[in-house]
């Protein structure tokens, strides 16, 4: 990086005092203009900022509240659950065997990262459909206290075919553990109804036999994810 920027005159000071170019006559310059290190820091910060969010900064950078790591190793993902869907019907993982399913775990109150991920999911499902491939999209709440059946029903209406799953605190806790999803409520006591929930933000591809195949980061973007899933569905 140092070398690259050096080509454009913004490299580090070299040999005899680098940034003091002859011919400028020692005129007054702003610190930004004079110090190449500051430029490098500024450019570095911009690069880091834009790299952090693969969705093109529409939803802001991914923050600490959304973890992009599974809590268990891939071979420990079981994917069992007994939950209730957005129509109030009890569902288990076995209801979704026989087809590939794409799971995301989040909460409907999430202001940025979850909506962004669900947009990616929508695009992935549509991309795959265009290739004649079917995956069942499923949204599992990490926040069953607020994500009631009614709340989920409104949420899943945004993507045709999307199944929303919630349940009792215990049911949801068991489901999340079975997938290796972590979540931590930021609620300030029982009266707080506008709290955030820190949680794992990943897509899980599950096979027709219910076994875990692969996980994807929403920041990979829909094109890349659809491509990788298509490979799994074909291979």
Binding site for Ni ion (CB under 5 A): 106, 110, 113-114
| C-alpha pair distances (Å), 216 with each of 68, 79, 212, 226, 228 | 9, 16, 12, 10, 9
Bridge partners, 104 (sequence order):
139, 203
Nearer to Ni ion, 202 or 233 (CB): 202
Q: Which residue is nearest to Ni ion (CB)?
A: 110
Nearest approach, Cβ of residue 197 and Ni ion (Å): 7
Rounded Cα distance between 115 and 107, Å, is: 9
| C-alpha pair distances (Å), 22 with each of 17, 19, 153 | 11, 9, 69
Nearest approach, Cβ of residue 66 and Ni ion (Å): 6
Nearer to Ni ion, 59 or 153 (CB): 59
Nearer to Ni ion, 178 or 196 (CB): 196
Nearest approach, Cβ of residue 114 and Ni ion (Å): 3
Nearer to Ni ion, 70 or 128 (CB): 70
Nearest approach, Cβ of residue 76 and Ni ion (Å): 23
Tell me how far apart the terminal alpha carbons of the chain are, to the nearest angstrom.
39
Q: What are phi and psi of 110, to 5 degrees?
A: -55, 125
């Amino acid at each position: 990086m140092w070398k690259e920027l050096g080509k454009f005159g913004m490299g580090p000071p070299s040999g005899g005092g680098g940034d003091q170019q002859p011919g400028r006559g020692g005129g007054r310059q702003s610190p930004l203009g004079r110090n190449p290190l500051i430029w490098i820091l500024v450019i570095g910060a911009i690069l880091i900022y834009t790299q952090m969010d693969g969705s093109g900064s529409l939803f802001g950078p991914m923050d600490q509240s959304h973890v992009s790591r599974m809590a268990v190793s891939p071979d420990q993902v079981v994917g069992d659950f007994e939950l209730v869907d957005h129509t109030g019907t009890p569902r288990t993982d076995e209801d979704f065997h026989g087809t590939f399913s794409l799971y995301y775990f989040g909460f409907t109150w999430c202001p940025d990262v979850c909506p962004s991920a669900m947009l990616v999911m929508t695009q992935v499902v549509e991309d795959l459909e265009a290739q004649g491939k079917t995956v069942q999209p499923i949204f599992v709440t990490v926040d069953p206290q607020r994500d009631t059946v009614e709340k989920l029903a409104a949420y899943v209406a945004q993507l045709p075919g999307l199944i929303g799953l919630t349940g009792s605190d215990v049911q949801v806790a068991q489901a999340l553990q079975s997938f290796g999803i972590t979540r931590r409520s930021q609620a300030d006591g029982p009266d707080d109804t506008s709290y955030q929930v820190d949680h794992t933000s990943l897509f899980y591809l599950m096979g027709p036999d219910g076994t875990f195949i692969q996980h994807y980061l929403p920041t990979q973007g829909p094109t890349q994810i659809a491509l990788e899933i298509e490979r799994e569905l074909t291979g």
